[in-house]
Amino acid sequence: MSPGSSVFQLLDQSGLERAPRVERLRELGFTWADLEEEEYWLDAIAVMSAETYRELADASEKLWGILDKAVRYVHRRQDLYELLGIPPVLWQMLDDTPLPEPGLISRYARFDFAVADDGTIKLLELNADTPTGYVEASIATPWICEQAGIGSPNGEMKELLAAAWGHERPDTAACVAYGTHQEDSGTIEALVHHSGLDIMCVDCLELWIDNGNVYDGQNRRIERMFALYPKEWMAVDEGGDALAYAVETGRLQLFNGPHSILLQSKGLVAAVWGMYELGLLFTEEERQVISRYVLPTYNKPVFSGSFVSKSVFGREGGSVRLFNDSGELELADEEGFDSSVLFPTVYQKRAELARIHTSEGELHLLTGMFVINGKPCGLLGRAGGPITGNASHFIALGVSELE
């Protein structure tokens, strides 16, 4: 690749009239393109080269299998649960619940990758429990790309979601502050709509539990629930013990299933890297994939060069700290909740993010890849500072010359 070139090309559309485009996205179901006075959606497309996309999709499929294999190694080993930062309140639930079939521990997940300008791909983390960005990826991105004549691989997301939920058949979808939290409410509404099922949307804060039976605010019993509720919060929330008991006793089926928290923990990436270094568990082909795409990740700060620290259950950039080559703190996230006060920390070698020049200035580009019903299927772009947190923008990711 020639100096100064990138596997991403930016198609800036900020010169187009924004208001009617925002309104059209609202009609499609993406109602938070503008948040108060802030433009969350960047009216541009980051166009990835077809070669890079093919490698990213292949890497996602192989890493999905590797992490699935690691969860099966960890399952029912409580010493490893502790190493991964899994709260003890969940251990019985994880031990008693049978593991799903290979590749389907989580049917709704999203990888976050650092894809550098030169096309180098590195896994940052896997959001296997409660990923958001579904509306941006499944609804907004295909429409934005279609309007510009750019290819999008995201068109299959709805059908894969319908297949996943057709198997799980939740009777309820829940999030905190349903009806007032715009993003989470819109996310579960889109998931319900795409499922084609008759599913009630409710507020997690209105749920109540009696002897392991879960009810909504209208006293309707819930038996099968998808919830945008991080499972680790059962360790700190009032009623968390009761919710865990409801799942343990089989009175509530929770989706994603209980073992998705093992995939969610960034400690699992550290475990994979540790087993790679020790020559355990993985085949030679899997070791080559780990070497190429997984960043050295540890439970202690052992690096001589630059690195990142983050909570095993950090979300939206919360708890992330960047350290320079001298090991000095360079940047810390000030927006998100620092969950490292509750859960262990991992330390990961820093990776380069591609940089794009937008109407908002030069931004770092984070590349997400959804995995739905076991298949990598949809790109999510977010652009912001070196730490991708709550203040970051959504930007559509397209693919050049997509077959």
Question: Per-residue DSSP letters for 118-154?
Answer: T--EEEEEEE-SS---HHIIIIIHHHHHHHHT-B-GG
CB 333 within 8 A of CB 317: yes
359 inside domain: yes
176 inside domain: no
Within a 10 A sphere around the Cβ of 37, how many other Cβ atoms?
A: 5
Query: What is the spatial distance between Cα 344 and Cα 360, in angstroms, rounded to a whole number?
Result: 35
Distant-in-sequence, close-in-space partners of 101: CB < 8 Å, separation ≥ 6: none
How confident is the model over 288-297, as a mean pLDDT?
98
Distances (CA, A) of 374 to 106, 110, 192: 8, 11, 19
Within a 10 A sphere around the Cβ of 329, how many other Cβ atoms?
A: 10
309 inside domain: no
Residue 289: name the closest of 69, 43, 99 by CA.
Answer: 69
Is 390 a residue whose pLDDT tops 90? no
Coil vs helix vs strand at 344: coil
335 pLDDT tier (thresholds 50, 70, 90): confident
Per-residue pLDDT of 126-171, as tens digits, reads: 999 999 999 999 999 999 999 999 999 999 999 999 999 999 999 9
Q: Which pLDDT score, from 0 to 100, does residue 316 have?
A: 67
Query: What is the spatial distance between Cα 143 and Cα 148, in angstroms, rounded to a whole number?
Result: 9
276 inside domain: no
1 pLDDT tier (thresholds 50, 70, 90): low
pTM of the model: 0.96
CB 344 within 8 A of CB 312: yes
Per-residue pLDDT of 315-332, as tens digits, reads: 766 689 999 998 888 998
Query: What is the spatial distance between Cα 122 and Cα 109, in angstroms, rounded to a whole number?
Result: 17
Per-residue pLDDT of 182-201, as tens digits, reads: 999 999 999 999 999 999 99
Query: What is the spatial distance between Cα 227 and Cα 245, in angstroms, rounded to a whole number?
Result: 16
Pair type for strands 200-203 and 208-210: unpaired
How confident is the model over 42-46, as a mean pLDDT?
97
Residue 125: name the closest of 400, 335, 388 by CA.
Answer: 388
358 inside domain: yes
- Tell me the average pLDDT of the chain: 94
Helix, strand, coil: what percent of the chain each, to 5? 35, 30, 35
290 inside domain: no
Rounded to the nearest 5°, which phi and psi values hold at 213? -95, 135
Pair type for strands 41-48 and 34-35: unpaired
Number of domains in the chain: 1
186 inside domain: no
364 inside domain: yes
Query: What is the spatial distance between Cα 288 and Cα 282, in angstroms, rounded to a whole number?
Result: 10
Domain limits for position 367: 8-150+354-376+385-399
